[in-house]
Structure 1
Amino acid sequence: MAKGTRANAALDKAGIAHGVHAYDYSADVDSKGLAAAQALGIAPARMFKTLMAWVDKQPVIAVIPSDQRLSLKKLAAQCGGKHAQMMEVAEAERRSGYKVGGISPFAQQRPANVLFAEQVQQHTAVYINAGQRGLLLDIAPADALRFLQASPADICED
């Protein structure tokens, strides 16, 4: 399995410390994030999934814990918009340059505004997709937020 994804290369170029972890990816599970957390033996709250959405026709990247659900209402409010909806799979793959199940917020082909769930601040390191199915990176939340010019926000369902 190749470990040289665009996400890893971008973080390397920026001098941001991160680890790389491979696991056996399965498309047949309901929650790929929870399956990845189990495969690596980490708490689901530390495994973050990358979701692509639209807020008032503007692309937004939401990064939330794998054991949480995105609140579209809260996402719209945090972005100063009125309406949010999930992006279609084909469009998410086109915009990000990654396949669903392997979408990383790092080094997307068409960057967009990124919001992290506020829970990211509870951890010293989190796991996020590295841009390939079955490949994760671990990174300090402060480094991820700074690199992506992202903000922590209340975007998960209660």
Structure 2
Amino acid sequence: MKRLLILQAGQTELGPVYALAQAALAGAQTEAVDAQLLRALDAGLAELLAADALLFVTPEKFGYMAGALKDFFDRTFYPAQGRVEGRPYALIVAAGNDGSGAATAVERICRGYPLKPVAEPLIVRGPADPAALQAAHDIGQGLAGGLVLGVF
């Protein structure tokens, strides 16, 4: 069974980050994929190494990713070197501004692992409305489908 790790960097279970992560998780639910949603602060190297694909969901904080996601990267970057090359990932940013700074920062770090982007970042500006939730659902579904079909 393939594993999809969804890391959400929101501080609470309220708000757009958690809603977007839940929508992505719902999209990824299949019998052939074990989709797991964790807070970024609760995940570590073991979860990263066990994942066949990753989805990062972060709020934009001061034009950057959330500290919780940066903390995950800080804790896993060097121990993961040589062990995760080419694993597919996607990114969702809940933006209060434009989200591009957060997306650029995550993409730069992911290149260092190196992980493989398999979708354009989804940047949700403002509340997580039905269209944004559907887009997050579709990203989860696309990642799961790609794993099942061996596309990635």
TM over 0.5: no
Structure 2 length-normalised TM: 0.33
Task: Considering fraction of residues, name the structure with more helix.
Answer: 2
- Which of 1 and 2 has higher RCO (CA within 8 Å, sep 6+)? 2
TM-score normalised per structure 1:
0.32
